[in-house]
Amino acid sequence: MKILVLNCGSSSVKYKVYEVDGVNQELASGMVERIGTKNADLKCSCCFAHDPRCAARMFGEPGKLDVPDHRAAVNMICDLLKSDHCTAVKGIDDIAGIGHRVVHGGEEFAESVLIDDEVIEGIERCARLAPLHNPPALLGIRACAEIFSGKPQVAVFDTAFHRSIPEKAYRYGIPDVLYRQHGIRKYGFHGTSHRYASHEAAKLLKKPIEHTRIVSCHLGNGSSITAVQGGKSIDTTMGLTPLAGVIMGTRPGDLDPFIPLFMIKEMKMSVQEVDEALNKRSGFEGICNHHDVREIEELARAGDEDCQLALDMFAYRAARFIGGTVMALSGCDAIVFTAGIGQNDPYMRARILKYATHMGIKIDPERNSRNERMITTDDSEVPVFVIPANEELVIARDTAAIVGVRSKKPAVA
């Protein structure tokens, strides 16, 4: 069964095609960037394998494509997949279903669901909690409803994995009415990533997932750390929005709740200016004017003190949250690193784990430098794993499972 997975951002559409069976093979991947401009670009791994940019030449000059909206982007992807250059599929009819990454499902969605009009309305209601993420997902869903008329579509929510968090962990110490009437609570994010990483860790531990306690660290431009007990999330660092928790590329992580009020009352900043500052000009960007960790590490080695401070802050906060997560789990069987920084940065992993020697964790420098699957010594009391993120595979599997037992509800017309 071939499944198309779409991840629609505000100005991009990433896609992958999987053959979902015992092998779960990735057949194709690519993305359309800078949607809404006449300078868009298209890249694809399955066509023109010698040069992914050749895919764009089907439609014009690379980097100068006119892609006015998400429907046009999805159309381009379809045209590419059904072209003679593509060996992944034999046309649109070869696609059994489309899986969509949807960031926020609020309290409405506790699992992946077949998309119908009722589900679309629910995603729209949750858009107030994720105004930058849910609307583009809806654009992709509606575009696919037109292009893949009658094909089943499935929504896979980042927040769904965290619906198992108990009330003592997800409630905030604020007036009850703010939760009851407005849904202000911890929701958590990166759920598909934490779900995949924890299940892969259980395999490495050779234990049933139901008998494991795993600290899952999704560290990238956006970062979150999750306590996974028995395969279920029981707490996580992100909250109502992805601003909370660990310091990130452009987001501050946890901060005193009065700070935004101070910015408004004392500095006379508008709500929009505060939003901009906290979402786009904080975190690494706010500390050292850079947000790419690779660049920050290079500058730190050259003596840039602000870059060094940013790295120190990230490592310390990540370690502190890992410590709290271990307490929430009453111990742990493994720590997992995933996502851009987590799976590719031996230096940062070592910096974080130097705080964990009291747990009997022993890093093997050679294994760590090679990004091996296990980076601790054989006699380490707690193993530490590096597991490459594969959120798209989770989406493809969920989609295939739902399509396989397709609901009687009508597909989106």
Of 129, 157, 185, which marks where a domain is finished? 157
CA separation for the pair 92, 275 (Å, rounded):
41
Question: What pLDDT was estimated at residue 26?
Answer: 84
Question: What pLDDT was estimated at residue 51?
Answer: 61
My answer on whether 153 and 213 are in the same domain is no
Give the number of other Cβ atoms within 10 Å of residue 146's Cβ: 12
Check: pTM over 0.85? Answer yes or no: yes
My answer on whether 77 and 219 are in the same domain is no
Catalytic residues: 158
Q: Is position 202 within any domain?
A: no
Which residues neighbour 158 within 8 Å (Cβ) at sequence distance 6 or greater? 101, 102, 103, 104, 105, 189, 190, 191, 192
Question: What pLDDT was estimated at residue 88?
Answer: 73
Both tokens assigned to 27: 């057949």
CA separation for the pair 359, 350 (Å, rounded):
14
15 — alpha (psi -120 to 50), left (phi > 0) or beta? beta
Question: What pLDDT was estimated at residue 100?
Answer: 95
My answer on whether 42 and 146 are in the same domain is yes
My answer on whether 118 and 55 are in the same domain is yes
Q: Is position 236 within any domain?
A: yes
Q: Is position 219 within any domain?
A: yes
- Tell me which H or E stretch contains 170: helix 167-170
- Count the residues in the chain: 413
Per-residue pLDDT of the chain (413 residues; tens, 9 = 90+): 889 999 887 778 889 999 887 667 888 888 888 888 888 888 887 665 556 556 666 777 778 888 888 888 888 888 887 777 777 777 677 888 999 999 999 999 999 999 999 999 999 999 888 887 888 899 889 888 888 888 899 999 999 999 999 999 999 999 999 999 999 999 999 999 999 999 999 999 999 999 999 999 999 989 999 999 999 999 999 999 889 999 999 999 999 999 999 999 999 999 999 999 998 899 999 999 999 999 999 999 999 999 999 999 999 999 999 999 999 999 999 999 999 999 999 999 999 999 999 999 999 999 999 999 999 999 999 999 999 999 999 999 999 999 886 544 454 43
Q: Is position 296 within any domain?
A: yes
- Residue 114's Cβ-count burial label (10 Å; 0-12, 13-18, 19+) is buried
Q: Is position 147 within any domain?
A: yes
Question: What pLDDT was estimated at residue 232?
Answer: 97
CA separation for the pair 377, 148 (Å, rounded):
50
Q: For 212-225, give one letter per residue: b (16+ CB within 10 A) or e.
A: bbbbbbbbbbbbbb
My answer on whether 219 and 366 are in the same domain is yes
Of 89, 124, 157, which marks where a domain is finished? 157
My answer on whether 224 and 105 are in the same domain is no
Name the phi and psi angles at 101, rounded to 5. Answer: -80, 120
Residue 245 belongs to domain with CATH number: 3.30.420.40
CA separation for the pair 68, 143 (Å, rounded):
13
CA separation for the pair 195, 395 (Å, rounded):
11
**Residues 386 and 6: beta-carbon distance below 8 Å:** no
Domains identified in the chain, total number: 2
CA separation for the pair 172, 186 (Å, rounded):
7
Domain range spanning residue 357? 207-382
**Residues 199 and 231: beta-carbon distance below 8 Å:** yes
Q: Is position 373 within any domain?
A: yes
Q: Is position 358 within any domain?
A: yes
My answer on whether 105 and 35 are in the same domain is yes
Q: Which residue has the tokens 């960031």?
A: 103
Q: Is position 297 within any domain?
A: yes
My answer on whether 268 and 120 are in the same domain is no
Give the number of other Cβ atoms within 10 Å of residue 87's Cβ: 11
CA separation for the pair 65, 69 (Å, rounded):
12
**Residues 201 and 343: beta-carbon distance below 8 Å:** no
Question: What pLDDT was estimated at residue 407?
Answer: 45
**Residues 44 and 27: beta-carbon distance below 8 Å:** no
My answer on whether 153 and 216 are in the same domain is no
My answer on whether 243 and 130 are in the same domain is no
My answer on whether 232 and 374 are in the same domain is yes
My answer on whether 147 and 30 are in the same domain is yes
